[in-house]
Structure 1
C-alpha cells in the first residue's frame, strides 16, 4: 500500500535541466508539462521559478465521480480507450496538479464484498486513460473503493502506484486511510485529505482493518490545524450528501465551516452525482458537489457537471481564485458524445441553476462570480 505521512515529505531537488524536472508526490511522479509551456533551454532553479511565476497561478484541477462502465464502456468499445475524455486532455494538462474521484476498484483480484445495488470494478487497463489526462492523484475516500473488499482495494492502490498515480482516502488501516497526501515543490506546498460519510460500516477503516477514511470531526479539525502549520494550502475532499438532491444538508454546511475555521483553504464535495452550490466562506471555497466526471449514466436526473480549478498565487502562496469549467454529462441526450467542455450557449442553464443554489447559501459568492464569453466561471477570493 502507498505510505503517507502527516510529516513533511522530502522531495528531490529540481534538476537544472528543465526537461528532466520531476516533482515527487507521496507515491508517484508528476507527468511533465506540455512542451509548449516550457522554456526551450536548460535553466537554473531560480530562473525556472521566475519563469513559472510569469505563467500565472499554480493550478490544482479537480474532476468528479469517475468509473468505466455503462455508456463509458460503450464509447470505449466503439472508439477506443481514451475517446471518452479526448476533448479535455488539453484542459487537464494545462493544470499543474490533477485529481479525480475514482469511484471504482481497478483490479483483477477480489470479488464483490457486499450486497448492494451498484458494484463497480474496472479493468486495470483503464489506468492508461488516467495517465492520458495526467492524473497525479486518485481520491479513494468514497463508497465504491471497497466494492471488491480489502483485496480489491489493495490491488487498486498497487495498480495506481505502478502507474505513478498516488491514492488518498483509503488504506490498510485507519491511520493510513486518514493520512494526508502532501505535495511539496519549489513553488508551493499543499496537503490533500479525503474522507467519506457514505457507505456500509464494514467499508470504513479501523486501526486494524482496511477501508476508506470516515469523518471524525475532532480528529479532522486537529489534522487541518496541524497541517496548516506545515504547508501553504490544505484541501479536503468529502464524499457526502444525498444523491440527486440540489441542496447540501445542514450537517454538511456545519462540517464544511468547521473545516474552514480550522484552516482548510478548500472543501471539495462528491457523491450527489449532480453539481451543488458553491460557497465563499472566510476567504475559502466550499464546493458542496462538483458532480460526475466520467460516469456514463443515462439516468434522467443526470445533468452537466464541472471541473473545479483552484488557482494559487505563487508570491503570497495563497488560494487566490477558483475557475469553473462546465462539462457535458447528459448522456441520455447525446449518447455518442465524449466528456467535453460545454459551449457558451450550453452553459446558460448550468449557470442559472448554480446562481440560484449558491444565492441560497451566500450572496457574497454570487456577487464574486463572473462568467466569461466562453461560459467559464471565476470567483476571486481576495480583494484586488
Structure 2
C-alpha cells in the first residue's frame, strides 16, 4: 500500500506485538566472494544466519555492490569496481533478507544504469531498498508497519559515488551533500516529514579500518537524534566500532562486515549483528551477536 507516495509494508502478527528486526553491516558479493559462490553456491553464504533472518519481522543489510549486467564501470581502479549477478538477489530473499541499504559508495560502481538494475532486481526478488531512487525527486525512505506501529528508516552516504558524475535526473543514492560538520537541512527536513512512530537512520560514514568513531560521526549521529532519530547505526569502516547511548537513544557507529572477502586489515573478518525488539511505547531491547567471516561466510560466535 502507499501513503503520501511512501511505500508502506504492513505485517500483522498474531503473537508478538513488538517489531523484531535484525541489522548487519556490509554485504559485498563481488571479487573474492564471487569465487566462494562459484565453489560453494549462493546459499552457502547465509547458512549460519538464515534461521535468524527468517524468524524476525525485518532484516536489514548494507548491500555494497550493484546487482547488474551493465558493463560500463565507474572511472576508478578496476579492483574497486564491484558487481554481482541477479541470482544473488534470489539467494538473499531465500535467506530472509528484507531490506537493502543502497546509500553507499559502491552501489553506483556501474553508474546510474547499474543502480537502476539493482533496484529492479531487488524488487523482482521481493526485497525492498532504502537510500536510493530513480532520481533525486523520489522519496528514498522506507516505512514498515506492524499492527499499526510504523517504523521509519532513512539511509545516507556521506561519500559521493566514486568515479561518477552526479546527475539528479537519473538513479542516485541518498548522498548527503549539505552536511557541513555541524548540521544538515536534508536530514532535519526528512526526519521531520517522516510519519513514523520510531525512526532509524543508517549512515555510510567514517574512516576505513579505524576502530573508533571520528568526531564527524559523533557529531552527525547526535545531530540526527537531536532532530528526531530514535536509533542510529553505521557502516563503511569494515571493522566494528564502539556504541553509545545519547539522550537515551542508541548509536552503533559501525557494525563491521557481514559477507566480505578482504581480511588483510585486522578486524575485517568480523562483524556485529543487532537483534532489536521495539514495542509500541518505543522501548528498545537489543541483543548483540558477534560473528567471524570465513571465506565470505559469517560464522556466529558463542
Report the aligned-residue RMSD. Answer: 2.4
Q: Does 1:324 align with 2:291?
A: no
Residue 158 of structure 1: how far off its partner (Å): 0.5
Q: Does 1:120 align with 2:82?
A: yes
Q: Does 1:311 align with 2:273?
A: no
Q: Is the 8 A contact 1:198 1:239 kept in 2?
A: yes
Q: Does 1:7 align with 2:4?
A: yes
Task: Report the counterpart of residue 252 of structure 2 in structure 1.
Answer: 287
Q: Does 1:154 align with 2:122?
A: no
Task: Report the counterpart of residue 141 of structure 1 in structure 2.
Answer: 103
Question: After superposition, where does 1:1-384 map in structure 2 within 5 Å?
Answer: 7=4, 9=6, 24=9, 49=14, 51-53=15-17, 57-116=18-77, 117-176=79-138, 179-200=140-161, 203=164, 207-215=168-176, 216=178, 217-227=184-194, 230-301=195-266, 302-314=268-280, 316=281, 318-329=282-293, 331=294, 335=295, 338-343=297-302
How far apart are the structure 2 equivalents of 1:132 and 1:162? 13
Task: Report the counterpart of residue 36 of structure 1 in structure 2.
Answer: none
How far apart are the structure 1 equivalents of 2:143 and 2:166? 20
Structure (1/2) with the larger strand percentage: 2
How far apart are the structure 1 equivalents of 2:269 and 2:3? 37
How far apart are the structure 2 equivalents of 1:99 and 1:108? 24
Q: Is the 8 A contact 1:100 1:139 kept in 2?
A: yes
Residue 204 of structure 1: how far off its partner (Å): 7.7
TM-score normalised to structure 1 length: 0.71
How far apart are the structure 1 equivalents of 2:105 and 2:3? 24
Query: Which consecutive unaligned segments of at least 5 residues does structure 2 have?
Result: 179-183
- Indicate the SS of the match to 1:106: coil
Structure (1/2) with the larger helix percentage: 1
Structure 1 runs (4+) deviating above 6 angstroms are none
Residue 79 of structure 1: how far off its partner (Å): 2.1
Tell me how many residue pairs correspond in the alignment.
Answer: 294
- Indicate the SS of the match to 2:203: strand
Q: Is the 8 A contact 1:194 1:237 kept in 2?
A: yes
Query: Which consecutive unaligned segments of at least 5 residues does structure 1 have?
Result: 12-23, 31-44, 344-384
